[in-house]
């Protein structure tokens, strides 16, 4: 999820500012838990009173009314007298029946919130939170939810990323850790002769190829299943994208991934790193908060500075060609292989 305008706490923060920050978790939890409970689905279709929505949810009418009132305060529900309806945004993106449904990101956030309540435990042990035991069906469903969440996040930055990359029509590119293949699908839509390979865990294949089919570019998108922490990448490519995965790796693991990726590039090819980047000591930025997510979820992952990422690209023989800011958290750093 985005930062929602919340800034890092600065040394000159006032007590009143801190009190304001302690309030901000309430709307976030309300939105995610209402989504988990199916409130937006139950309210879909127009004006309804709380009793009607409660009946659909098999919920308590008073509690339902108060949740709906809270959602109206957040801005995701409209209220008129004793009736409520989803806002256009909620109806479009948070109702599972909508073709534009993007609520996967709320489900992901709900799970992450539970993990963040375990910070004291992980702080003591240094061990990430164990993955919950799941049936094969539930694991498949969760993985698909996760990569669909990544699709929603990726779409918000695809325009800036496209502008930052040295893409040309007719190139062959690989996206490593592609998830739903959002970026290369969008690139293929804009460049009619571009071909691309999505490399990710095999469990991502169906979602990625289904998205490519819906976008009308399935004939130019292929999928390769594997483990980016150790596998080589078959073929020779004009460009490679490593997007938002090195924060899961140690410095040694990141360097190894860059080396294996560079080996798959043709002479003159480029390697682009799209990543959450840690800022300077006096203002480390949103990446500093994201670092805690890596503590909770990985054994070796962390966030890195621009200087560290550039240094690793140079270590594998690439020349830094450009550095572009994509968002408050992310930068794209492009390295070029010699001809």
Sequential DSSP letters for 258-269? HHHHHHTEEEEE
pLDDT value for 213: 96
**What are the residue ranges of CATH 1.10.10.10 in the chain?**
15-97
- Cite the beta strand spans of the chain per DSSP E: 48-49, 77-80, 83-86, 172-176, 195-200, 221-225, 237-243, 265-278, 304-305, 319-325, 330-336
Q: Which helix (H) or strand (E) holds 273?
A: strand 265-278
Domain(s) labelled CATH 3.40.50.150 in the chain stretch across: 157-336
What is the DSSP pairing of strand 77-80 with strand 83-86?
Answer: antiparallel
Residue 109: predicted pLDDT: 87
Domain 15-97 has CATH 2.20.25.90: no
Burial degree of 56 (CB within 10 A; 0-12, 13-18, 19+): middle
Note whether 108 and 145 are within 8 A (CB): yes
Of 228, 203, 42, 53, which Cα lies nearest the Cα of 134?
203
Output the pLDDT for position 120.
96
How many other CB atoms sit within 10 Å of the CB of residue 78?
18
Residue located via tokens 């590119």: 173
- Of 300, 339, 333, 329, the closest CA to residue 314 belongs to 333
Neighbours of 86 (CB within 10 A): 25
- Cβ pair 258, 313 in contact under 8 A: yes
Note the residue count of the chain: 339
Q: How far apart are CA 71 and CA 84, in angstroms?
A: 10
Q: Which two tokens stand for residue 148?
A: 């669909």
Pick the CATH number of 157-336 from 3.40.50.300, 3.30.70.580, 3.90.1150.10, 3.40.50.150: 3.40.50.150
Give the pLDDT confidence score for residue 313 in this predicted structure.
Answer: 98
Q: Point out which residues pair with 275 in neighbouring strands.
A: 331
Reported in sequence order, the residue ranges of 13-142 that DSSP labels E, i.e. its strands, are 48-49, 77-80, 83-86
Query: To the nearest 10°, the Cα dihedral for 115, 116, 121, 122?
Result: 90
How many CB atoms sit inside 10 A of residue 282's CB? 7
Strand order in the sheet with 83-86: 48-49, 83-86, 77-80
Please name the residues in contact with 50: beta carbons below 8 A apart, sequence gap of 6 or more: 61, 64, 65, 68, 82, 84
pLDDT block averages, 10 residues each, the chain of length 339: 44 83 91 96 97 97 98 97 97 93 86 92 94 76 72 80 96 95 95 97 92 95 96 95 95 98 98 95 87 94 96 98 92 96
Q: Distance between CA 212 and CA 206 in Å, rounded?
A: 10
Which residue reads 């980047």 in tokens?
277
Query: What pLDDT, on a 0 to 100 scale, did the predictor assign at position 10?
Result: 59
In angstroms, the CA 71 to CA 34 distance is 8
């Amino acid at each position: 999820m985005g930062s929602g305008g919340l800034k890092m706490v600065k040394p000159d923060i006032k007590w009143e500012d801190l009190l304001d920050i302690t309030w901000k978790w309430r709307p976030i939890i309300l939105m995610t838990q209402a989504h988990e409970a199916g409130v937006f689905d139950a309210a879909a279709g127009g004006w309804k009173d709380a009793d009607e929505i409660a009946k659909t949810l098999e919920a308590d009418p008073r509690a339902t009314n108060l949740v709906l009132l809270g959602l109206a305060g957040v801005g995701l529900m409209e209220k008129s007298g004793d009736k409520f309806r989803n806002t256009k945004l909620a109806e479009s993106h948070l109702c599972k029946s909508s073709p534009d449904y993007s609520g996967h990101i709320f489900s992901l956030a709900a799970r992450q919130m539970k993990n963040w309540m375990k910070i004291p435990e992980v702080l003591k042990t240094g061990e990430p939170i164990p993955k919950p035991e799941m049936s094969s069906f539930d694991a498949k469903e969760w993985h698909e939810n996760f990569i669909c969440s990544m699709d929603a996040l990726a779409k918000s930055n695809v325009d800036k990323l496209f502008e930052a990359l040295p893409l040309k029509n007719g190139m062959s590119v690989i996206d490593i850790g592609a998830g739903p293949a959002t970026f290369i699908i969008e690139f293929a839509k804009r460049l009619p002769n571009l071909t691309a390979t999505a490399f990710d865990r095999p469990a991502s294949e169906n979602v990625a190829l289904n998205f490519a089919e819906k976008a009308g570019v399935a004939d130019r998108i292929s999928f390769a299943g594997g483990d980016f922490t150790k596998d080589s990448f078959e073929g020779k490519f004009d460009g490679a994208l490593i997007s938002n995965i090195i924060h899961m790796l140690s410095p040694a693991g990141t360097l190894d991934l860059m080396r294996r990726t560079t080996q798959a590039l043709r002479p003159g090819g480029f390697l682009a790193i799209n990543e959450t980047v840690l800022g300077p000591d006096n203002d480390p930025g949103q990446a500093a908060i994201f670092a805690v997510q890596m503590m909770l979820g990985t054994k070796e992952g962390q966030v890195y500075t621009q200087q560290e990422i550039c240094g690793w690209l140079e270590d594998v023989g690439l020349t830094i060609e450009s550095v572009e800011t994509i968002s408050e958290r992310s930068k794209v750093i492009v390295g070029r292989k010699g001809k």
